[in-house]
Each structure stands twice: as structure tokens, then as C-alpha cells.
Amino acid sequence: MTAAATERDALAGTVARVAADVPGVAFPRPGLVDPFRPAARTGPPRTAGRAPAGVRVSRASGSGPWEVDVQIVVRRDHRAPAVARAVRDTVTTAPSGAAPGVQVTVTVTDAV
């Protein structure tokens, strides 16, 4: 695995953790195959190169800023725009030392 891939995976993991801890976030939007994965796994929960559910991390060029797309499901008793702003602010500041200038987009996909 390359250094860039390792950095991307670490950033995706950090983003997933801090976004899930924001009040009003029910859970990250699951990927298409997540419901079909077996509940019990024999290996590690993530394989290298596969971002956590609801998080996409990319970079337009090798030296440009990271672009982070977070997709979340919010709780019905919270205002979706306020939760999305809180997630964006939290994700923007969390990796600032490791990934300066990160660009964050948050999409609310559903409410439960």
C-alpha cells in the first residue's frame, strides 16, 4: 500500500469517527453492499483501500487538498441543516494537523 493510500485510509477513519459522534447523527449512510455482508467476520472489520460507510476521501492532484464527502442519516428530533453544519465543522477541524485545507461536503440522505 502506498503512503497516499495509507494517509487516505487514516483520514477516512478519523472522519467516520468524529462524524458519528456529532449529536443528531443516527449513523453514516451505509454503502450498497453493507446490508449483504455477514454479521460475523473472520478478519479485520475493514480491508485496506475500502473507506468506512458514508465516507469518501479523494484528492484531485497528488499535492492538492483532500476532498471529503460525508453522507449521514440524521435523527428526526434534530434539524438536518444544523446537524450537517455541525458535522462539516467537526470534520473540517478534526484532521487539520494531518490534512490541512481539507474540503468537506456533507449530505443528509435520510432521517430516522
pLDDT value at residue 98: 58
DSSP string for residues in the chain: --HHHHHHHHHHHHHHHHHHTSTTEEEEPPPSSGGGS-SS-SS-SS-TT-PPTTEEEEESSTTS-EEEEEEEEE-TTS-HHHHHHHHHHHHHHTTTTTSTT-EEEEEEEEE-
20 has a pLDDT exceeding 90: yes
State the average pLDDT over residues 33-58: 61
41 has a pLDDT exceeding 50: no
Q: What is the C-alpha to C-alpha distance for residues 16 and 25, in angstroms, rounded to an integer?
A: 11
Per-residue model confidence as pLDDT tens digits over 3-16: 778 888 888 999 99
Q: What is the C-alpha to C-alpha distance for residues 70 and 52, in angstroms, rounded to an integer?
A: 10
Amino acid letter, residue 50: R
Per-residue model confidence as pLDDT tens digits over 77-111: 999 999 999 999 999 988 655 566 789 999 999 99
pLDDT value at residue 102: 86
pLDDT value at residue 83: 97
Q: How many residues belong to the chain?
A: 112
pLDDT value at residue 99: 64
